[in-house]
C-alpha cells in the first residue's frame, strides 16, 4: 500500500489523489490516522470533495480538531455545515469556546438551533448523541399517509428506517419500520401495524442507551424527554461507536493506563507517557504496603531465608487469580448477566473457584517445592496458595460490584485495588502460616 505520508512530504499531489481514490472510506480513515499532523492535513485536502466529509466524520475527534486548525476558514465552515447535528455537536464541544461560537454563527438558523439544543444536554448522555432529524408518524394516519409523510420529510432526516409513532403532544405511542409500511395495506391504520416502543430518555447515559439498541437488535431507538415527548433518535451507528469507546476505555484502565484520544501512531511520546505515569505512581504508592509487610516479618525471613524464594510466585499468582475473577465479573456486569442483588451468589461462586484453583496449584506444586526446599516449607507454600487464591477471587468478585454500586467505573479501581490487596494480604497470610507451621 502506498504510504500517504511519504507522498505528502514529497509534495506529489497527483499521486496522493490517485492513492486516496483507491481507498474506501474506512481505509482512508485508517491511513490518515497513521500519519503525522502535517502530512494528514495535506492528504485530507487532496480528497475529492464528495468523500472528504465521509472521511472527516469517521476520524477521531482530536484528529478532526487538528484538521480544522489547518484548513481555511471557508473550508472549515463548509465541513461543519455538512455534518449531522449530533456529530457537529460532539466536535464543537471539544473546540475552544470562541472557535465553536464562530462556527455556530456561520450555520443557517435551523442547523444552529438543532446543534445548540444538543449541546444543552449533559455530556455523555443519550440526548447529546441523538439525532434530532427524525420523521414522526401521526398515530391517526393510515399506512398510505405515513408513507407520504416519509417521502416529504426524507431529505431532512438522518434515518427513515425506524419511524416513531406519536400521539397528542408528540408523545411516543409506538414505532414502525419502513419495511412494515411498504408491505402493509395502504388503507390500514398505522396503529394496527406498529410495535410497542422501546425508548431511552435524554438524560440516560450514552452507554446505557447503546446497550438498549444492541440488546434489542434495533436500527434506532426513540429518545424522549421527561414527559415522554419525542425529541430525537439514537441510531445504531452511534451506539456502536459508544460501545467501542467504552470498551476501549475499560481495557485501558484495567491495564493501568488512560485511553488515548487518538490512534496510537498519531499519538506523541509525551502523550503516551501522560496516559501511563499517573497509574504507575499510584501503584508505586500502593506497593509501599507490601514493603511494610516484608519489613514487619523481617525476623521470619532472616530465620528461614528459603521463604523469600516464593514471595514473587505467591503474590504473582494471587494477582493473576484476582485479575481473572475481576475481568470475568466486569464482563458479566457489562452484558447484564449479573446485577448488584446477585452479589452473594457471585462472591460464593468465586470463593469456591478460588478454593479449587488454589488446591489444584498446591497439589501440582507440592512435589517440586518439596524437592527444592523441603516438605515443611512446601506445605507452608501450598497452604498459603489455597488461602491467597480464595482471597484473590473474593476480592475480584467484590471490588467491581461494589465500585459500580457507589458510582465508580469498576475498570478504574479493580486492577490497582486487587494488586494492592492481594500483595499485602497474601504476604501476611504466608508469613503467619510460616510462623504457625515452622514455629519461627
Provide the pLDDT for residue 358: 92
CA distances from 104 to 14, 71, 112, 126 (A): 34, 17, 6, 22
Overall average pLDDT of the 281-289 stretch? 69
- Reported as a single tens digit per residue, the pLDDT across 56-106 is 878 877 787 877 777 776 677 777 877 888 888 887 877 777 778 888 888
pLDDT value, residue 230: 93
- Judged against a pLDDT cut of 90, whether residue 223 lies above it is answered with yes
The pLDDT of 188-200, averaged and rounded, is: 91
Q: Tell me, what's the pLDDT at 44?
A: 79
Mean pLDDT of the chain: 81
In this predicted model, what pLDDT tens digit does every residue of 9-61 receive, in sequence order? 766 667 777 777 777 788 877 877 777 777 777 777 777 777 777 888 788 77
Residue 222 reports pLDDT greater than 80:
yes
29 neighbors 241 (Cβ within 8 angstroms): no
> Are the C-beta atoms of 116 and 93 separated by less than 8 Å?
no
Q: Can you give the pLDDT at residue 302?
A: 67
Q: How crowded is the C-beta side of 22, counted as CA atoms within 13 Å?
A: 10
Strands 137-138 and 162-166: parallel
Q: What share of the chain is helix, strand, coil (3-state, %, to 5)?
A: 70, 10, 20
- Under the banding of pLDDT at 50, 70 and 90, the label for residue 164 is very high
CA proximity to 131, closest of 157, 106, 110, 155: 157
Placement of cell 461494589 in the chain:
402
- Under 8 Å CB-to-CB from 65, ≥6 apart: which residues? 91, 94, 95
> Which among 84, 83, 80 has a CA at the least distance from the CA of 72?
80
pLDDT at 298: 73
> Which residue, 380, 389, 394, is CA-closest to 432?
380
pLDDT of residue 264: 60
pLDDT above 60 (res 206) = yes
What confidence tens digit (pLDDT) does each residue in 362-417 have? 999 888 888 988 888 889 889 999 999 999 899 888 888 888 787 766 766 666 67
Q: How many CA atoms lie within 13 A of 212 on its CB side?
A: 19
Q: Which residues contact 212 (CB under 8 A, 6 or more apart)?
A: 198, 200, 218, 221
Give which of 153, 149, 123 is closest to 138, Cα–Cα: 149
Q: How far is the C-alpha of 37 from the C-alpha of 54, rounded, in Å?
A: 19
Lowest-confidence region among 222-236, 302-316, 338-352, 359-373: 302-316
pLDDT in tens, 229-265: 999 999 998 888 888 877 766 666 655 555 556 666 6
User: What percent of the chain is predicted at pLDDT more than 90?
Assistant: 18
Q: What predicted TM-score, i.e. pTM, was given to this entire model?
A: 0.66
Q: Is the dihedral of CA 356, 357, 363, 369 positive or negative?
A: negative
Spacing of C-alpha 196 from chain mean position: 29
Q: What average pLDDT does this structure show over 281-308? A: 71
Closest by Cα among 38, 15, 37, 17 to 28: 17
pLDDT, position 280? 66
CA angle 374, 377, 378 (to 5 degrees): 75
**pLDDT of 328 over the 70 cut:** yes
127, 202 Cβ separation under 8 angstroms: yes
Cα 182 to Cα 147, 161, 186, 194, 279, distances in angstroms: 8, 11, 8, 13, 56
**Mean pLDDT to the nearest integer, 427-434:** 84
In the chain, the percentage of residues whose pLDDT exceeds 70 is 85
Q: Which domains does the chain have, with CATH numbers?
A: 4-129 (1.25.60.10), 137-245 (3.10.580.10), 268-438 (1.10.357.20)
With left for phi above 0 and alpha for psi between -120 and 50, is residue 224 left, alpha or beta?
A: beta
Amino acid at each position: 500500500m502506498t504510504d500517504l505520508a511519504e507522498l505528502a512530504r514529497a509534495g506529489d499531489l497527483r499521486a496522493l489523489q490517485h492513492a486516496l481514490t483507491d481507498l474506501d472510506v474506512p481505509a482512508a480513515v485508517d491511513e490518515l490516522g497513521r500519519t503525522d499532523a502535517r502530512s494528514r492535513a495535506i492528504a485530507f485536502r487532496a480528497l475529492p470533495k464528495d468523500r472528504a466529509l465521509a472521511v472527516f466524520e469517521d476520524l477521531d475527534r482530536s484528529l478532526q480538531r487538528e484538521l480544522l486548525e489547518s484548513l481555511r476558514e471557508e473550508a472549515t465552515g463548509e465541513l461543519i455545515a455538512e455534518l449531522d447535528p449530533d456529530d457537529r455537536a460532539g466536535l464543537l464541544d471539544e473546540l475552544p469556546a470562541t472557535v465553536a461560537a464562530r462556527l455556530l454563527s456561520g450555520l443557517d438558523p435551523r442547523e444552529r438551533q438543532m446543534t445548540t439544543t444538543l449541546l444543552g444536554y449533559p455530556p455523555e448522555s443519550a440526548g447529546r448523541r441523538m439525532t434530532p432529524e427524525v420523521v414522526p408518524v401521526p398515530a391517526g394516519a393510515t399506512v398510505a399517509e405515513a408513507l407520504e409523510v416519509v417521502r416529504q420529510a426524507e431529505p431532512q432526516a438522518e434515518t427513515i428506517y425506524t419511524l416513531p409513532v406519536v400521539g397528542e403532544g408528540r408523545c411516543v405511542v409506538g414505532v414502525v419500520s419502513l419495511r412494515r409500511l411498504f408491505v402493509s395495506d395502504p388503507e390500514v391504520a398505522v396503529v394496527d401495524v406498529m410495535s410497542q416502543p422501546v425508548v431511552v430518555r435524554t438524560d440516560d447515559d450514552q452507554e446505557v442507551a447503546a446497550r438498549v439498541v444492541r440488546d434489542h437488535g434495533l436500527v434506532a431507538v426513540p429518545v424522549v424527554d421527561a414527559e415522554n415527548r419525542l425529541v430525537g433518535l439514537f441510531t445504531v451507528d452511534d451506539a456502536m461507536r459508544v460501545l467501542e469507546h467504552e470498551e476501549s476505555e475499560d481495557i485501558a484502565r484495567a491495564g493501568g493506563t488512560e485511553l488515548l484520544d487518538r490512534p496510537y501512531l498519531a499519538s506523541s511520546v509525551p502523550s503516551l507517557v501522560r496516559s501511563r505515569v499517573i497509574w504507575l505512581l499510584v501503584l508505586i504508592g500502593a506497593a509501599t504496603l507490601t514493603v511494610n509487610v516484608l519489613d514487619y516479618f523481617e525476623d521470619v525471613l532472616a530465620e528461614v531465608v528459603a521463604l523469600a524464594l516464593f514471595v514473587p510466585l505467591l503474590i504473582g499468582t494471587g494477582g493473576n487469580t484476582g485479575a481473572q475473577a475481576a475481568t470475568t465479573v466486569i464482563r458479566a456486569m457489562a452484558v447484564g448477566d449479573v446485577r448488584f442483588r446477585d452479589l452473594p451468589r457471585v462472591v460464593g461462586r468465586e470463593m469456591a473457584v478460588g478454593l479449587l484453583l488454589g488446591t489444584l496449584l498446591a497439589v501440582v506444586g507440592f512435589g517440586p517445592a518439596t524437592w527444592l526446599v523441603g516438605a515443611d516449607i512446601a506445605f507452608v507454600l501450598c497452604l498459603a496458595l489455597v488461602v491467597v487464591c480464595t482471597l484473590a477471587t473474593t476480592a475480584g468478585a467484590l471490588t467491581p460490584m461494589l465500585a459500580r454500586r457507589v458510582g465508580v467505573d469498576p475498570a478504574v479501581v479493580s486492577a490497582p485495588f486487587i494488586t494492592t490487596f492481594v500483595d499485602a494480604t497474601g504476604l501476611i497470610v504466608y508469613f503467619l502460616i510460616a510462623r504457625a507451621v515452622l514455629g519461627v
